[in-house]
């Protein structure tokens, strides 16, 4: 874990940027239902959502964990996630949301590229275990369009 004063987080999902799924989405080599994009960040629908509207927000620049980001970049990532969460809640008529941000394999980080999950939840789901749900690319595109529309109202 630690080498000559440097902390490292174990992640068996580590890959170089050219093999990173999220970098391939940024480069448009893989499809995604996009919600938002600017010069530094991108947001898109999770292909295996915990709930309808489950959105991922990530920096375009490859880095595995928040330790690979500057404090300014981390602030920008979470500020954007907060903004997008408003569109997610409005588009899904949810009552709340979770931010989940995993760093390393032990924390269940499945894609070794920094990202924040925005997971909308309804009051009746309070305290219940979340399982990933099946969906289709068409449903993901539909909810992404609804979130984009809702974001225009903020």
DSSP string of 89-146, one letter each residue: HHHHT-SEEEEE---SGGGT--SSS--EEEEEE-GGGTTPPP------HHHHHHHHHH
Element containing residue 53 per DSSP (H, E): none
Query: Of the residues 62, 113, 115, 117, which is catalytic?
Result: 115
Q: CA 92, CA 144: separation in Å to the nearest integer?
A: 11
Q: CA 19, CA 25: separation in Å to the nearest integer?
A: 11
Query: Quick check: is 115 catalytic?
Result: yes
Contact 59, 73 (CB under 8 A): yes
| Phi, psi angles (nearest 5°) of residue 118 | -110, 115
Contact 59, 41 (CB under 8 A): yes
List the catalytic residues: 115
């Amino acid at each position: 874990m630690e080498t000559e004063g440097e902390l490292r987080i174990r992640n068996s999902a580590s890959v170089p940027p050219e093999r990173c799924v999220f970098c391939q989405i940024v480069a448009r080599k893989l499809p995604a239902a996009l919600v938002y994009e600017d010069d530094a960040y991108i947001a898109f629908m999770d292909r295996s959502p915990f709930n309808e509207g489950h959105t991922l927000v990530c920096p375009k620049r490859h880095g595995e964990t928040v330790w690979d980001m500057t404090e300014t970049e981390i602030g920008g990532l979470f500020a954007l996630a907060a903004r997008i969460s408003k569109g997610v809640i409005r588009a899904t008529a949810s009552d709340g949301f979770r931010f989940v941000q995993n760093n390393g394999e032990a924390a269940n980080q499945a894609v070794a590229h920094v990202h924040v999950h925005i997971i909308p939840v309804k009051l009746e789901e309070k305290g219940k275990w979340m399982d990933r749900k099946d969906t289709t690319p068409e449903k993901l595109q539909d909810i992404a369009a609804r979130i984009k529309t809702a974001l225009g109202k903020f």
